[in-house]
Structure 1
């Protein structure tokens, strides 16, 4: 099997995000502390280093912050996004006019610490289920305006992306079913409305809804808030619906994929993955990830 390439962040996307953050930080008068204390011709060299083990994400955003403040600043990455690093590892060296180095410092670090935190936390979830075929996925529970960046960090940590928004896939949830009148009918309506390239997923809360959903052949069924025993039963029902023996189940492309979701934690994800589901979605990897401790130290 061909190894997946590491994700890349489009430069234009990075620039727009960083520009907005710099404008927010510089306010109406610029960095008054630096302007008041540092002469325009003073230079500095600084290193960004991690203070705890983690997975790096956001180096291009940091590079962009220094470039937008002062294009003459040299930013040398000493690591790459997706690298797992030990405490004390230097991940970048920055050199140039000191005013620019100091004024861009916080914005660059904010992006790096936040995204590296997500990548690191995702990696912990992914490591817990590495012995299974299941993949951990993010959700649409992200900080407004940062979704593309946070989903990028999830992939760097070894996770998978769920839909990016309301427009790139169908996810029929309990409220859609309640209003539309039924599981199978909602799936068929979605198929009739959307093009053939749009995936259709439906959320179910029990085996009765699962059986009904399978009659309409959705691409994915989301098994909401089910414990391991019920998840194993759902996997068996899915295999039986498609007439698959247990040995053939995982590799058969015809079957409906199963996604487990609902109150997934680092303590519970292993047991969920071992039931045989294909995907496990959780908001924890984006909404509960602590930042990775990264510092910038200047040496004149």
Structure 2
């Protein structure tokens, strides 16, 4: 499905990114495997993980090169794109997968924990996407697949930084889809449910949290790859600006915010009439303080 296409996969040294990179190669893509080789918290740097995935792809008979630049650095993001152009002559697909976690309850979260996660996820997605945009525009084709999360789409405890970044990515993806649709460039999101090092760092301080993590261990990163490959291919030429989720063998199309109910007063509103009429009228449609695990409450199939 991807024969001859040049694909960048960020954060591809392990977990979801690795399985996506391998799946892309199996479908004929030439792959830039980007990973700085850091810990889940973003500490340390090691070229080994990226090169190991490159070696796996070459063992399959595919073409791949390693890159260890950080997506959180604008110049580094530009070098990731340059690596693809220099190695393969062009770029056709970008999978924005790189990420870190610094989980902390909001009232305890430091500015550094906020900044570091926003920088890798949201800034990183922007930097890499912006660096490749001129190439996509010039060739009048290209596909983005960005990793979002139900932590942002629905909510979760202890992940204000991660949730904000991931919901920001969905809005960024929609803006890219709107702005670049005229150049035949597509931008979609996947919210993956998969066991990974990042999931493994989620706090499990209660039996309910432990049970949720145990369920997630059943969902391997390889389950995400088929949708990512399809969205990157010409078979998904008419799919743009969408948000999907993958949970084991289930694929979901996620909703996007739209008005669900309204109230109107021809004479306008006062604080008192809002309290007396508007809020009570709308209350039946209020959303509960759900977390991702509350919405996806059934065991994966």
TM-score over 0.5 for the alignment? no
| Structure with the largest fraction of helix | 2
TM-score, normalized by length of structure 1?
Answer: 0.28
| Structure with the largest fraction of strand | 1
Task: Determine which structure has greater relative contact order: mean sequence separation of CA pairs < 8 Å that are 6+ residues apart, divided by chain length.
Answer: 1
Larger radius of gyration: 1
